[in-house]
C-alpha cells in the first residue's frame, strides 16, 4: 500500500463547513492569531481550537478573549513544547466534538488564509487529506530552496509530493484521530514529516492506498517572520531524509 499524491483543482464549496474544525498552533502570534481565528469562523467552520504554546507575548491573553465566541476554545501549554505537540493537543481537543467530520490544521500567522478553507476542504472524504500547495512564483528564494530540499527525499521515495512542509492541511476525522493517537509530544517543526510516515503506516494497516490531494492556494509571505532557527533547519533536513527513507522501506 502506498501514499499517493494527486493535484486537485480547488472548488468553492467544501460541503457543510459547520462540520469542519480548525486547529491553530500558535507561538508568539499576538499580531495574527485573532485575525486567523475570526477568519475561520467567518467561513462558517463549526469549531476552532487555538493552542498557545507557552508564548512569551500576549498570544495567551488574546486566545482567552477569543473564547467569548462559543465556537472558539483555547488550549495552553505551561512550557513550550513545539508545533508537533501543539498540533497533537489541538487535535485531541477538536475531536472531543462528535459533530466534527473534517479537521484543518493551519499556522496562525495568516500565511495560511482560512478564506481558502472551503476549496481545500472540498476533496476531503474522497481523499484522506488535502494539502494547500504553495506556488513558487511568490515564494522567497531561500524558502524555495528549503522547500525543494525537503521535497527531494520523498520524490526519491516515489511519493510525488510538491509541498511537504505546507502548514495548510485538512484531514478526515479518521486521519485526524490517527495522528492524535500516534504523534509524539515532541518534534518541534518536524510535524509535517512525521505525519508522512504515519500516513504510510495507516495505509499499511488499512490495506489500501493513502490518498493526498494537493490543492493550489495563494500564500502571503511579506508580513510573517519565521521563528525557525538554524538548528531547526538542520532538524528539518534530517527529518525529511529519515522519514522519507522509512516511508520508502514501508512501501516496498
pLDDT of 198 = 97
pLDDT per residue as tens digits for the range 79-93 = 999 999 999 999 999
Q: For the chain, first and last CA: distance in Å?
A: 9
Q: Is residue 37 a contact partner of residue 24, using CB atoms and an 8 Å limit? A: yes
Three-class DSSP category at 118:
helix
Q: What is the pLDDT of residue 123?
A: 95
Q: Note the pTM of the prediction, 2 decimals.
A: 0.90
pLDDT at 231: 60
Edge-to-edge strands, sheet with 20-26 = 3-8, 210-217, 129-134, 169-172, 102-105, 20-26, 47-52, 72-76
Q: What is the pLDDT of residue 252?
A: 77
**With contact defined as beta carbons under 8 Å apart, do 203 and 209 qualify?**
yes
The stretches in the chain having pLDDT less than 70 are 12, 14, 135-139, 187, 221-234
SS3 category, 59: helix
Residue 138: its pLDDT value, please? 64
Assigned C-alpha cell, 207: 490495506
How far apart CA 133 and CA 143 sit, in angstroms, is 14
Strand, helix or coil at 125? Answer: coil
Superfamily of domain 3-250: Spore Coat Polysaccharide Biosynthesis Protein SpsA; Chain A (3.90.550.10)
79-to-51, 52, 53, 55, 136 alpha-carbon distances in Å: 12, 10, 7, 9, 35
Q: Hey, which residues does 35 pair with through a beta bridge?
A: none
Rounded CA gap, 76 and 98, in Å? 22
Amino acid at each position: 500500500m502506498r501514499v499517493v499524491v494527486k493535484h486537485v483543482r480547488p472548488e468553492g464549496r467544501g460541503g457543510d463547513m459547520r462540520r469542519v474544525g480548525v486547529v491553530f498552533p500558535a507561538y508568539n502570534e499576538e499580531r495574527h492569531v485573532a485575525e486567523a481565528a475570526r477568519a475561520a469562523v467567518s467561513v462558517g467552520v463549526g469549531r476552532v481550537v487555538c493552542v498557545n504554546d507557552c508564548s512569551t507575548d500576549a498570544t495567551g491573553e488574546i486566545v482567552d478573549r477569543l473564547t467569548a465566541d462559543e465556537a472558539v476554545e483555547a488550549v495552553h501549554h505551561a512550557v513550550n513544547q513545539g508545533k508537533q505537540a501543539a498540533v497533537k493537543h489541538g487535535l485531541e481537543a477538536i475531536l472531543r466534538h462528535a459533530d466534527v467530520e473534517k479537521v484543518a490544521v493551519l499556522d496562525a500567522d495568516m500565511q495560511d488564509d482560512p478564506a481558502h478553507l472551503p476549496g481545500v476542504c472540498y476533496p476531503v472524504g474522497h481523499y484522506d487529506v488535502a494539502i494547500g500547495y504553495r506556488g513558487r512564483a511568490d515564494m522567497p528564494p531561500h524558502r524555495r530552496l528549503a522547500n525543494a530540499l525537503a521535497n527531494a527525499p520523498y520524490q526519491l521515495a516515489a511519493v510525488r509530493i510538491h509541498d511537504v512542509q505546507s502548514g495548510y492541511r485538512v484531514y478526515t476525522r479518521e486521519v485526524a484521530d490517527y495522528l492524535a493517537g500516534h504523534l509524539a509530544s515532541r518534534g518541534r517543526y518536524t510535524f509535517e514529516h512525521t505525519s508522512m510516515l504515519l500516513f504510510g503506516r495507516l495505509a499499511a494497516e488499512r490495506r489500501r492506498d493513502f490518498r493526498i490531494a494537493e490543492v493550489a492556494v495563494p500564500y502571503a509571505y511579506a508580513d510573517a517572520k519565521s521563528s525557525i532557527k538554524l538548528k531547526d533547519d538542520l532538524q528539518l533536513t534530517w527529518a525529511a531524509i529519515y522519514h522519507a527513507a522509512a516511508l520508502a522501506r514501508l512501501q516496498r
